[in-house]
Structure 1
């Protein structure tokens, strides 16, 4: 049957529902009969559109744990609108394509805060035999906050509660995915913060004022909701700021008034309201900032005409940060990231005031190591921007929802209790206090027990009443003895058996904090010491840090060993601009928790030498033998293989340095290329990857890394790493794949596409490109295609738009052709020129080095 109208696709969906025994207006609803609660949730998109309107998907279901919305379009070419693999969200794409519309509605539902997850289904087709169906798990309101479920090709998962729950469990984000989203979100936020900092600088907002503008404006964008959940008024949107010059209608005044209404409605104590508002008045005190001026370049595409300084900043924050908050991983310390970026410009590296904020993936790791759960009472006595409390709160809420379900009465009651009674923060710096309170409010309050004051002077009754079971700390490292008195003070005020963790300069454990350390050991137990990466706080501060973990109110038993863990290789390399994934970091951050708990018996996923990174050893009462290197076995005999590796690593580095630094004779190289071009008169044509290759996943042994990599041999294991040609190790297993192919990892993108010349062992998430053309090709052609492929996908993929087989197949690369056919001869000649040039420089290096 050929479809003539969109209604025919609707009929097809209804028939599917009928076959699944789903009843109209009971189990599912049509566009004209959306349930009131879902209808209200769909108004979430009114944040950016006319507030009286809301989207209407073709079908919706609310009978399972999260809503499902379905959008249909006539014509299989109306499934999705993309630009270089990125799904488009312009008005034309949203209204004209099924995927774009479904995701727009689903992210809008999340934006309403009535649901935190949605399943979006897009269906397009020309006939019963030509139906295309895409399914997405949507976890936020941002334009990239969804996961494509490429294995789901039907509506069968809607049949009953069991089928949906099974589908849901496989759809939700894995811990690895959450970690990657956290890192990607942090990188995006840092980029926005840098551009916002530039905008504010150009608009003459002082460095001290900038972060207050961000936190205050974010609060003003929130709807005003009273403590009973009743909405009093909408949050501000850019169109509300009109540049009116009366004292009561100025843009800055509107923003501050909205903040005041918001804080009042939340029933935040009056003294805290006044303290926060005293900081936010900075936004409204200069009337000139509310006068219309020419647009800065950072907002030129976001605003149609001249706008005030206040509106330009507000609009940038609204479009790039506020609308993406739900899409960012929950553990992300939004205000902390902003503060860190602005701090670079205001105070260099921050050493003057000793403020270096903990990365969100570290706060999450530390909270997880201490087994934070729904019943924990979590305390941070150097709260900063509340990064530790944010991570702890998110873990606690996850635990509640896993036990009681999402949106149940029990879970709502317990989550409210967590936010009101189970988090305690103390912060002396007034600006940081405001940031911490704002950060927690943005996550549904949680600010009730963030106190402004001196940790050591806060009345003991506060700590006695709270009864902390968990203590998380990153104290100011400019404080006495590197800040160790904070952990000593906190441990003294915890419940017996409570757990505390501090990340601190590890000089504190090797002699700089002897007095405090000795006093700690008299009353409390040092359980573990974890050596952290040297570049962890780059570019803010280049200090070596360790995490020390304690049990409260049990004097240290020197006859029991302490766990010492070397986590300097966390899988990342940190540059001035970004984190670089070099060795499976998401797996390593999952593994480190297992290693802490199980030691050398841990069932790890990444490649570890557990014998060298995990040690159990005794400490003395000196207070200066708390670091990993003090306990590493230095008497171990050095083997010949160790020398070989050192020399090999150095030579590879030195050769790479020479090849990069030595001069290239560009003129000579260009002449050679021109000769080649004269020999082959080529045109350049586009080919999709699936025109050239079949993409198939590699086979693998299904072993844990511990078992897979325990042997040594000469067969490479190609994994998800982006270094060493994708090779993690060499083993003595039989190869699972033939060589002379291209591999790529579907968990990364352009940095993990490689040519594999030899047979190898496959690994999960590694895809192989097998040529379709008859002609035999080798290294030179494959290297050319690898380069073109990397260029085509560079910077395009993330967890919202996965680098999977389907997306890879559609990528287009440009290749040289003669008479409409690929000129392999030209490709081989071109690569040979480059190889000869590199080899020539290498020969010169070796000749000079080996004299």
Structure 2
């Protein structure tokens, strides 16, 4: 193998930096405390702990005084610039979602992107430039070099995007840097790319949560499941920080002291209080959060110091190391919901108890939101909010729509704030679950203001819970996954919510017996004022491992009585394209094995536009018919199977019979010959 010319490459590149009069630091030199510490804390390129040293690093400022850390890695072989995966992204993760140390070690760009992720994970910098450079000597002994420049940021979830083609580092020169930053700002990911990256990151979150939960479950004694959920929530809130107001809590801030007022728990509680003080939330909500989290954080056992470290500090460190990157990059995912489902999978709940707190998988939540036709101007509510997963999905949909249709940055910011503060409302009765819903919405950037701890059937009058408390919430979209033990399998929630609305749409996922007799009276009353548009039979295993009830989605138009000639769309969605498994240790229990994405899209179009949208599905799975509004138990219809024999059937039967006759004759001859 050719010898590495890394020293020559290093000399060439650092020579450029010197000639541009840039203040660069070599691998052993400190750059600033925050960056040095992050590089030191992050797992190293070979998989050990700490000690990441880029070959060169700088901190540059643009004309708006924003800082950009620049991390540079050199290699000395011909084809060691960058290793991409099949999607053309820097391949720093293996198929199992673990760090791909071989690539991170061998390729210049992959190494630099790895360092950049250390900064995303452990510092307040959200925009980092990762540069890889390699080269070789050609036949004449001349150095040929290649450069890869990647932008690693919150907006691309840390995966990195190629900025352009460069033959030297002069884009870093003072007079060229602003133009380069402009080039970086113009790198926009399409919605499709964003969705793909999000999906990839969500799978990683699932894998990280499983790993974290396993670890705490096996190695940290004395922590109940609620404690675990609250510890993750507390750690995350304490480390988010608020730019310019509340500095994020660092692992090193926890001293494992036994001094009164300075135990690790008390330090975390103070940080959470400071965070909440900056949030525009009702006082009683802030008090509730502090009270609930303090119950876990201030107990004696968790703060007891052994070998110089409290259990709390140990768990806090695990959480920040495993999950830090995901909320730093601002993933709008149902974070506590995933956590909650993961925790629940470890509990031996009785089946009934479990059915009542099964949280909706995020792709089903998104489906419900699309079926309820949510857009940036919708007002969305959920009467059994759980961990607020459906509201998080609605918020995502609204924010995407706003981003696509509002082109003034100022106006967009105003709209985003309005969506979070005024256009979502959730009710949850179980106080431990209610707490999760609040935390979830705080982590999502604060749609928690109107999450209410009330009985939606008995105590809710349809008004805002915060802000405009005298006004009715002007709901135009209703989404629901009710507790199935409720009256009529949960149709009582549907009747109550729809009757408080003047217009709009609703999509609910419910045990299908609700449509075939269990909720007859509710259904008849609902149809007196609202229209059933569609009934969708869902796969039996969407809640695999949690519950195995057959569910349907019912879609309604609000405020128009259901006439007897109204056409209802019945869709058999048993095959949604996903294969699900229920393996405790699996990093991904959901696989797209048959055009799942396309099927979900087609389903939404079929419900909205009818059968001219049929493409993957057949007439066997899509059936239109009427229902009797006075019946209430005929909501789960399927396409009739034609039993009348055709001429074709007759011919086949005759030919089968003749074949049988002939084979018997031949067998007969066989036995005669013996």
| Shorter-normalised TM range | 0.7 to 0.9
Question: How far has the Cα of 1:178 moved from its partner?
Answer: 4.9
How many angstroms apart in 1 are the aligned matches of 2:516 and 2:180? Answer: 60
Deviation (angstroms), 1:129: 7.2
2:253 equivalent to 1:240: yes
**Any conservation in 1 of the 2:570–2:625 contact (CA below 8 Å)?**
yes
CA–CA separation in structure 2 for the residues paired with 1:141 and 1:111? 16
Hey, what's the Cα distance between the residues in 2 that align with 1:485 and 1:140?
43
Match among 306, 309, 312 for residue 307 of structure 1:
309
1:584 aligns with 2:603: no
Q: Tell me the SS of whatever aligns to 2:539.
A: coil
Alpha carbons of 1:638 and 1:489: their partners in 2 closer, same or farther (altered >3 Å)?
Answer: farther
Which of residues 624, 641, 646 is equivalent to 2:633? 624
Q: Distance in 1 between matches of 2:122 and 2:613?
A: 40
> Is the aligned partner of 1:205 residue 2:223?
yes
SS at match of 2:554: strand
Structure 2: distance between partners of 1:107 and 1:563: 51
| CA–CA separation in structure 2 for the residues paired with 1:390 and 1:374 | 14
Contact 2:426–2:451 (8 Å) recurs in 1? yes
Assess if the C-alpha contact under 8 Å between 1:108 and 1:141 holds in 2.
no
Please, which moves more after superposition, 156-165 or 633-642? 156-165
Q: Which residue of 1 aligns with 2:214?
A: 195
- Measured after TM superposition, the shift of residue 490 of structure 1 is 1.1
**How far apart are 1:244 and its partner, in Å?**
0.7
- For structure 1, which runs of at least 5 residues remain unmatched after alignment? 16-23, 34-38, 294-304, 643-851
TM-score, with structure 2 as normaliser: 0.76
What's the counterpart of residue 449 of structure 1? 450
| 1:335 shift after superposition | 1.1
Contact (CA 8 Å) 1:510, 1:625: kept in 2 or not?
Answer: yes
What is the CA-CA distance between 1:512 and the residue it aligns to? 0.7
Instruction: Tell whether the 8 Å contact from 1:139 to 1:327 is kept in structure 2 after alignment.
Output: yes
1:723-774: CA deviation from partner (whole Å, max 9, x where unpaired): xxxxxxxxxxxxxxxxxxxxxxxxxxxxxxxxxxxxxxxxxxxxxxxxxxxx
Contact 2:92 2:104 in 1 (8 A): no
Residue 547 in 1 paired to residue 553 in 2? yes
1:100 partnered with 2:111: yes
CA distance in 2, matches of 1:470, 1:417: 16
Relative to structure 1, the CA distance from residue 620 to residue 254 in structure 2 (aligned partners, 3 Å threshold; closer, same or farther) is same
Cα deviation for residue 440 of structure 1 reads: 1.0
Q: CA deviation at 1:12?
A: 8.0
CA drift at 1:328:
8.0
SS at match of 2:521: helix
Give the secondary-structure state (helix, strand or coil) at the position aligned to 1:319.
Answer: helix
Q: Name the stretch that deviates more: 314-323 or 382-391.
A: 314-323
Contact 2:258 2:305 in 1 (8 A): no
Which ranges in structure 2 are unaligned for 5 or more consecutive residues? 26-30, 43-51, 84-90, 172-177, 466-470, 584-588, 650-674
- Residue 88 of structure 2 aligns with which residue? none
Q: Is the 8 A contact 2:330 2:444 kept in 1?
A: no
Question: What secondary structure does 1:230 align onto?
Answer: coil
Partner of 2:672: none
- Which of 143, 146, 150 is matched with 2:159 structurally? 146
Is residue 276 of structure 2 the alignment partner of residue 263 of structure 1? Answer: yes
| Structure 2 residue 630 is matched with structure 1 residue 614 | no
Does the 8 A contact of 2:516 with 2:633 survive in 1?
A: yes
Q: Determine the C-alpha separation between the residues in 2 that align with 1:500 and 1:395.
A: 15
| Cα distance in 2 between the residues matched to 1:320 and 1:272 | 29
Cα offset, 1:486, TM superposition:
0.9
How does 1:583-602 map onto structure 2 within 5 Å?
A: 583-602=594-613
In the TM superposition, what are the counterparts of 1:48-67 in structure 2 within 5 Å? none
Q: Secondary structure at the match of 2:445?
A: coil
Cα distance in 1 between the residues matched to 2:592 and 2:648: 27
Structure 1 contact 256–283 (Cα < 8 Å) conserved: no
Judged with a 3 Å threshold, the aligned counterparts in structure 2 of structure 1 residues 362 and 326 are, in CA distance, closer, same or farther, namely farther
Q: Secondary structure at the match of 1:526?
A: strand
Q: CA RMSD in A?
A: 4.4
Aligned-pair CA distance for 1:269? 1.6
Question: Residue 502 in 1 paired to residue 508 in 2?
Answer: yes
Per-residue deviation at 1:362? 1.0
* TM-score calculated relative to the size of structure 1: 0.61
- Whether the 8 Å CA contact 1:344–1:350 is kept in 2: the answer is no
Aligned position for 1:474: 481
After TM superposition, give the deviation of residue 247 of structure 1 in Å.
Answer: 1.9
Contact 2:571–2:638, Cα closer than 8 Å, also in 1:
no
Alignment match of 2:188 (pick from 156, 168, 187): 168
Separation in 1, partners of 2:638, 2:107:
64
Determine the C-alpha separation between the residues in 1 that align with 2:149 and 2:498. Answer: 49
- Alignment correspondent of 2:671: none
Quote how far apart the aligned CAs of 1:311 are.
Answer: 1.5
1:581-616 Cα shifts (integer Å, max 9, x gaps): 322323333333233334333386xxx233222222
Aligned residues: 592
Name the CA shift for 1:204/1:580 in 2 (closer, same or farther; >3 Å).
same
**Aligned 8 A contact 1:379 1:424 in 2:** yes
Q: Tell me how far apart the structure 2 counterparts of residues 83 and 484 of structure 1 sit (CA, whole Å).
A: 48
* Candidates 559, 562, 570, aligned match of 1:564: 570
Match of 2:523 in 1: 517
